[in-house]
Amino acid sequence: MRKKIIAGNWKMNKTPSEAAALIHDLKDKCNSGASDVVFCVPYVDLSTALDLLKGTNIAVGAQNMHFEDSGAFTGEISAPMLKEMGVRYVIIGHSERREYFAETDVTVNKKVKKALSAGLIPILCVGETLTQREQGITVDLLRQQTRIAFLDVTAADAAKTVVAYEPIWAIGTGKVATDEQAQEACAAIRRVIGEIYAQATAQAIRIQYGGSVSAANAKGLFAMPDIDGGLVGGASLKADFAQIVNS
């Protein structure tokens, strides 16, 4: 049985003092250990989160990283920097990074490999736009994104990753994929991983759903056989997050 993993993506929200207040409010409610829980916070909140979550079952993740260890990349943060701080997870290829900051399938692949080589666990995001879904190419797109993301990644390393299926049309819109739509997409991703590696690897990798996850819909989504938790955006900034974790 794959252990559920619930990750909160705070996006560009919360100053360090605000982060401290939210963590104090949530940490005891999310600390049962029944599921893996990750708070993916802005860079400026990482130290605060790491300090306040020490000794709990809650891990800390970053929301992005560069694919080089160091260099003339003003404003960027490297995998070794995150690892030395104590960060365990990093979101890679979120649709907002792809849309607003020109990330591509190729740069996502570079980041996945760099994160794994540094000992970080990538939360790899894939997903389609509403137009792509309406054109009937969702599975084709997920196949492309997944195959390129895992290019030159060993099966042993691939098994450490978390994949987050995020239909772009459901992110921050209040629209949510039905349980069946989300299951269909996550199952398709698992089939592709099985084609790349083997069924053992495909069955080991945890696949999350992300896109307007809430306390109201989490239980149904997480009950689907190929959905192993959620990558939660707006609701991770509220008390509702604890209900999602415990659902």
Active site residue ranges: 94, 166
Burial 47-58 (b: 16+ CB within 10 A, else e): ebbbebbeeeeb
Backbone φ and ψ for 208, nearest 5 degrees, come out as: -95, 160
